[in-house]
Amino acid sequence: MKTLVVTGGIATGKSTAIRLLMEMGAPHLRLFDCDAEAGRLLDSGLLKDALIRAFGPGSVDGAGRADRHFLRELVFRNPESRKILEGLIHPLLHQECLAQMQAARQNAAVNGFVIDVPLFFETSARYHQDAVCVVAVSRETQKARLALRNGFREDMIEAILAAQHPIMGKVAKADFVIWNEGPPSLLQQQTQRFHQHFFHD
């Protein structure tokens, strides 16, 4: 079973590329989505006490779920707060990912395990991966997409991008790159070629 980390930057189209990849590889690929798993963890209430100790009672709601808006505003403007939150979440995510990977290895029908890790290069966690693929766009395209898609203000956009390594630095470290500028058909063609090359050649 081959293991692939897919990463990129916010608004690069990483999620779309992964969706295409999983559709092409069905039913022989498995996916671990770090963002989705982190969301489940934050909504589970398991981190309630730790969040309150770290960030105060405003960080959770009445049911003990994380207040996503509160945390987003906090961590993108304060690097130290971001490190604290990552320190609470990432070890649990890493443990769960490795457990799911091990389970997939026991299934003879599975030939690939894809790990969606938005902040792969920003953290020290590694997943015994065979390769890292970066989905990339220019910084200008990132900013335009964030403004259009999320409605973020300019200062929030700059804070979000400053919290991540520059996309071209990630490109330089990648084993493979999917460049997501241009029409959707171009992304599909690149993803299809990559799927064939990595999982079947």
For 22, the token pair is 């999983």
Residue 3 assigned to a binding site: no
Residue 173 assigned to a binding site: no
Q: What confidence tens digit (pLDDT) does each residue in 88-136 have? A: 999 999 999 999 999 999 999 999 999 999 989 988 888 999 999 999 9
Residue 170 assigned to a binding site: no
Measured from the Cβ of residue 108, the count of other Cβ atoms closer than 10 Å reads 7
- Tally of domains within the chain: 1
Residue 191 assigned to a binding site: no
Q: What confidence tens digit (pLDDT) does each residue in 19-72 have? A: 999 999 999 999 999 999 999 999 999 999 999 999 999 999 988 999 998 998
Contact 137, 179 (CB under 8 A): yes
* Domain ranges, residue 194: 2-200
Residue 13 assigned to a binding site: yes
CATH of the domain at 21: 3.40.50.300
Specify the pTM.
0.90
